[in-house]
Structure 1
Amino acid sequence: MTSNFLQKIAEYFCVSDIPGATIPSTSLSKILESMYLGQPLSSVSLKYLAGKDLLDLHRFATAQINYEEFVAAAQSAKQTRERVAVEKQRAAEAARSAREAEWEAENGRRLEAAKAAREALENDPKYIAKMKSRALRAKYGMHFIDQRAYPRLMAILEKVDSGRRMAEDDYIWLTTVAQEHFTAALESAFHQLEAEFFAEKFKRTGDPWNAVNASGHYRRCGQSEDALELLDAIGAHPVKHPKLQSAVCTTRGGAMRDLGRLDEARQLGEEGHEYRPGDFRPCTLLGAVHMELGNFDDARTWYAKGEVRGATQKSIDSELKRIFQRADKVKRDAIRAFLLREDPQRFAWVLARKQ
């Protein structure tokens, strides 16, 4: 049975407003179809009409009224159903609007309460101090701090962050007892402040040693070009003492090495060694430069000279690790092979980075 035909039948019996009347295979649509075709209804069908309060249709099906009487009564009943349906729809919409308004009001109250609580919290001195401390720790890469070290360490962070130099005993403490808290960010900030201090002192006094010290710190916070610029300024102040001459050459050579200018770094290292043959610093610089150049035998020789003159094996190994980590794969493989030939136990750490 097509939907159009069912619609026509539903309209004929004035029940097109009832959904089940126009849907195929429903009880009502089957009853209407039977009545339309003049077929008698079963007692079950008649009971269904009575149960659904379709009394006019029931009366017509049982021949209690004729079609004209049925239509008059059925149209009135249909109008009543439509009016009731409209009222129900309006009531449902009103109830939904009321629920939405209540939800919005409740949500507004929650938001206002949350805002008030947040503002009260943000104005709480303890909360402000806590957030400041958290931001400070994050800035200097400290995700965990030993509670025993917390007060002293936070005092150091606040001091450094305000642009004040770290006290010498605090620096010693950080590089020994609390070295796990001497993060790269804090170390860089320390060297930045030291570099600025000695650079300013050099401008005031003209003492070349201040320029050398400032340049060394600039190198350690990744500002090797600033180190070279400051060393160039020493030219206006004659340097005659061999120790100072060696220090200037070695520091300049280190900055050149940082910038990848290895040949110039090698020449400056050799010049620094000539000025002061007993100093280990030019020797370890030349060891590092030759290692990066791939001249491993020369690197071994210079590092050995450095150890004889006072360089510690620990400092040399630390530098070798930095060189190894910065090298590309080809150079890293070559360095690994050389170090393992030299001392497989001492340099076992190169195996952990094998690629």
Structure 2
Amino acid sequence: MNDTALTAAAEPRDAAGRPPVRAATPADAEAITRMRSAYVLSAPFTEDWVRQCTDELAPRLTPEGDARAFVVDAPDGTMAACALGLIHPVLPAPTYPRGRAARVQIVATQPEFRRRGYARAVLSALLDHLADVEDVTLFELHTSPEAAPLYRELGFSGSPALMRMTRHRQRAGAVPGAQPDSTWVPPQQYSDALPRAAAYACLYVTDEDDRPLQLHSVYSPGHPWHMIGGAMDLGERPWDAVVRECREETGMTAAGPPRLLATVFGQPREQRPYSTLQLIFDGGRLTDEQIRGITLNPREHDEARVLPLAEWEALMPARDFVRLRAVEEARRTGVAAYVDTWGNA
């Protein structure tokens, strides 16, 4: 048996097999601050900032303060994991009549204690305490795309840039773990909790030899070549957006009827805190004369080029070529394509 196995076997657990979680006190303020510095912030604190933030946090961890935290202690007495939430007032509403909300500020685990359920344990304890003891109903947090699945499992929704959850106090006598009673949520609150997505409509066009036509962007070095199309306006139908974008970008009029070739989905990223959804329609085959007649908008594109599919691979990022190849295959086979790796690479 190796040292890792010995350590894991010796880990303290409660009767249900969970790591022992305790409520933080003002004495834990420095350790929580250092966890934040090391594992949450993009740049670690200087010692002056550690002292300043410790002095700020300690009184807020008292019953009279607005901070609540739960921790797991490491065998050597250091802090293995912690979760910190800050309570704040909001205007009351029918679903949170006391007007109490909380932002999950920190969830952090030392690297050597990860993948043991510590983050879930401290976060669950924090959420249970805030909902059942502090009567907090509205929860918010910011996280990374990698950590978002854990929060969704616990009831949060939305993009990693802003995830929200409405949760009510457990009723006396309720079965532990049972789902709470359904509660009506005001339309605006429900809308605010939905994940955000930007919708795009695109047109796949080729010449008469089925060679894809692409436009060269003057403003997007990350996507130098792409199809005709762009973002949909608020309330605009996808095909109407295609017709508008085609006219604005090439001077041509897209001819229907609409035929959807592919749906392309992109996950949120740090620089783009929302999903993207692209609907790509078949724009048909253009004659050489039609291609020569394309009039580009110089603010957006400086070249329209036609090449065999294989030659496009060297001219665009891998994710762009995956999309182009999937759309070409969809037109050739008649089977609509679905791509959900857009922007991952």
Question: Into which bin does the TM-score normalised by the smaller protein fall?
Answer: under 0.3
More strand by share: 2
Q: State TM-score, norm by structure 1.
A: 0.21
The structure whose residues are more often helix, as a share, is: 1
Which one has more relative contact order, counting CA pairs under 8 Å at least 6 apart? Answer: 2
